[in-house]
Structure 1
Amino acid sequence: MAAAAPTPATAAAPAPRPGLGTNATRTPAMLAPEARPGALAPVRVSDKRIVNGQGDINQLAPFKYPWAWEFFLNANKNHWTPLEISMAQDVHDYHHRLTPAERHVFENVLSYLTTSDILAMRNIGLAVMEKMTAPELQIYQARQVYEEALHTWTYQHCIESLGLDQQEIYNRYRVVPEIHGKIALANRRLERVMRADFDLGDRDKLHEFALSYLFFAAIFEGCWFYNGFSPIFALQRRGLMKGTAEQLQYIMRDEVLHCAFGIRAVRTLIAEEELELDPQAVSLLWQEAEAAEAAYSGYLLREPMLGYSAAQHMGQFRYIANRRARQLGLPEPFPGAENVLPWLDEQANLRKEKNFFETRVTEYQTGGALAWE
């Protein structure tokens, strides 16, 4: 008679797998890293760098740059959209209260800003973020890319709300030499490092990248945007175009974080890579930026507004440029420049909690919860 088939209780145990001894219940996750098929060594904090890091770009922690994560958390507390602020009074102001000179200033500020924010979005998304090798940096910059798109929407919303000719306004950066000059300079300083094959293992290219990022953070965002907003804040101070100015106050909260993050990242990059920036190259950055800003302010304020002129605009540029240089640990490019618009830091801030350019703003709220004084 044939033997009965073994029952589950009496079935013979499977033969031990090679390398597992007699414990057949061990899984690959329980093996030592070197014994796991395709396993990788754990990420060490020391593997992370601003650029040229050896860590896993897909693994957030352990943090090497916790300050970058804090920037991301703070940025998300300032969420808003341009639809939250009424533009009704601005429509009346633009058509019935602004002088022709003031309308000229207002239109050209929006023309410059909307083009600049698209350029900023592309630079962060295609050049800077792509070359960062620590995910906590990339995550904040992903938020920054979104914010630049949001700012572009805000300017477009203002332009559309006022019934302006969008094609004409958007084309000014191409046809007005003084506006085009700033954009062309930015493109020249930022364009090469946008390439995916820009090798940061080459020390000369690494130096070029550091200068480009310095230009973007300290000059493009830290100086030019600040001066870009100030003519509108001058109108707001007189009770004009308050809806647009409030939109720009929200944008200012974003931009000050962009600037502060960029400066911190540049300083860390320089220290990690033991770079020595060429003083002449840095000086040229400031000289070119000042020349472009002077041409722009001369066109923008060819007729001064009440309480605001081209001379004040340039004085403020030089004062803020010195502040940016100090934050970078560099010599002031314009020694002796004075704060010619002492009201501006106060005017530009929401709830008057912090001076944006002297401290890190941490008391953010969501846009719908912000109280206006």
Structure 2
Amino acid sequence: MTQTILGTGIQEGLLLKPVRYPWAYELYNQAVANTWFPHEVQLGEDLADFKKMSDEERHALTFLMSYFNPNELLVNKALAFGVYPYVGAAEAHLYLAKQMWEEANHVMAFEYVLETFPIDRRQAYEAHVNVPSMVAKEKFEVHYIRRMTEQTLDIGTTEGKRDFVRNLVAYNIVLEGIWFYSGFMVALSFRQRNLLRNFASLVDWVVRDESLHLKFGINLILTVLDENPDLRTEEFAAEIKQMIVDGVTMEEQYNRDLLPRGVLGMNADYINQYVRYLADRRLEELGFAPHYNVTNPAKWMATANDTLQLVNFFESTNTSYEVDARAR
């Protein structure tokens, strides 16, 4: 019987060598090399910048913290309940274990921000349950993880494998690949105006981790599609594309709440063009044509948006998933 990356047997994935999926093994090694700790950054040096920021700028930073922190924890639930139990390759398990540690490290990084800056912690935490645009995004993600936590998927069936892919798209593509990157751009925009430079360094490290999470997730989706021809239908592809488009709509409303009046050099329209640009890149990475056809308004973020080798969602068999860790 041909082995595939999906598997739930407890005795599967107990031998690392020979490695069946080199891209997963290389991403694990790169993730280990990227290991960092939040307090290596001297955030206290940014306090003077925080005090001279406008109310709109401080609102944006608080809004970002209120979203990032709980959603990093939500990603860990998606990995623990919706991905790890259904993957049989040891090298994939190694990477997922490191990714879960990284998500926990990101939580501690954002806690460090909340501890350092005079941010109203209660206001920050309550926003993700009181602000409708933030609630809508969380409801979208919880919808996909709930079926993984409340029932066991039968990944021997087509529908079970579809649920597995849906969860990956919801978390790796929409949440980590679009929504998080949108927030990263806003966070890093302060440095473009010579503000919060150490905070930006912390975000740089988070982005470096998330770029690997995105590469792993896309490689995993494409591998599952290649190994399971029953998933490659026009109807399922249309559903996946619609999930991404719906994610863009939700993010656009969120960004209008994030910057209701805008700040120097940036407003919600600017961020939302970047969101649409990101969505097109993610669609292309899954083998779709671009949907929005917009240019990148934040050229300075280009290095964070490397695209992977493209494959067609339906027809092509991808044999070149490997990511050369030494070249990154």
Range with bigger deviation, 115-124 or 140-149: 115-124
Q: 1:66: Cα distance to partner? A: 1.4
Quick one: percent identity of the two aligned structures?
Answer: 26
Is the CA contact 1:68–1:261 (under 8 Å) kept in the aligned structure 2?
A: yes
Which amino acid in the other structure matches residue 208 of structure 2?
A: R
Q: 1:235: Cα distance to partner? A: 0.8
1:340 aligns with 2:303: no
> 2:318 corresponds to which residue?
none
> 1:87 corresponds to which residue?
43
Supply the distance in 2 between the matched residues of 1:238 and 1:262 (Cα, whole angstroms).
Answer: 33
Alignment of 1:228-267 (within 5 A): 228-267=183-222
3-state DSSP of counterpart to 2:26: helix
3-state DSSP of counterpart to 2:83: helix
> 2:26 corresponds to which residue?
70
Supply the distance in 1 between the matched residues of 2:291 and 2:237 (Cα, whole angstroms).
Answer: 11
- The 1:333/1:252 distance shift into structure 2, 3 A limit, reads same
The structure richer in helix per residue is 2
Match of 2:275 among 296, 317, 331: 317
Which amino acid in the other structure matches residue 295 of structure 2?
A: E
**RMSD over aligned Cα atoms:** 2.1
> 1:362 corresponds to which residue?
325
Range with bigger deviation, 295-304 or 356-365: 356-365
Which amino acid in the other structure matches residue 338 of structure 1?
A: T
Which amino acid in the other structure matches residue 20 of structure 2?
A: K
1:120 aligns with 2:120: no
User: TM-score if structure 2 supplies the norm length?
Assistant: 0.89
Is the CA contact 1:48–1:134 (under 8 Å) kept in the aligned structure 2?
A: no
- The 1:364/1:156 distance shift into structure 2, 3 A limit, reads farther
Q: 1:47: Cα distance to partner? A: 4.7
- The 1:202/1:358 distance shift into structure 2, 3 A limit, reads closer
Larger Rg over CA atoms? 1
Which amino acid in the other structure matches residue 298 of structure 2?
A: L
Is the CA contact 2:215–2:308 (under 8 Å) kept in the aligned structure 1?
A: no
Is the CA contact 1:127–1:196 (under 8 Å) kept in the aligned structure 2?
A: no
Alignment of 1:1-373 (within 5 A): 47-52=2-7, 56-95=12-51, 97-195=52-150, 197-274=152-229, 275-277=231-233, 278-334=236-292, 336-346=293-303, 356-357=306-307, 362=325
Q: 1:56: Cα distance to partner? A: 2.7
Q: 1:168: Cα distance to partner? A: 2.7
User: TM-score if structure 1 supplies the norm length?
Assistant: 0.79
> 2:319 corresponds to which residue?
none
Supply the distance in 2 between the matched residues of 1:204 and 1:114 (Cα, whole angstroms).
Answer: 32
In the alignment of these two chains, the number of paired residues is: 311
Q: 1:84: Cα distance to partner? A: 0.4
Partner deviation per Cα, 1:277-313 (whole Å, 9 max, x = no partner): 5233123202320121011001001011111111111
Q: 1:358: Cα distance to partner? A: 6.2
Supply the distance in 2 between the matched residues of 1:48 and 1:143 (Cα, whole angstroms).
Answer: 24
Gaps of 5+ in 2: 310-322
Q: Post-superposition, which runs of at least 4 consecutive aligned residues in structure 1 deviate over 4 A?
A: 355-361
Partner deviation per Cα, 1:179-214 (whole Å, 9 max, x = no partner): 121111111133213446211112112112212212
Supply the distance in 1 between the matched residues of 2:178 and 2:160 (Cα, whole angstroms).
Answer: 25
- The 1:261/1:311 distance shift into structure 2, 3 A limit, reads same
Is the CA contact 2:285–2:308 (under 8 Å) kept in the aligned structure 1?
A: no
3-state DSSP of counterpart to 2:36: coil
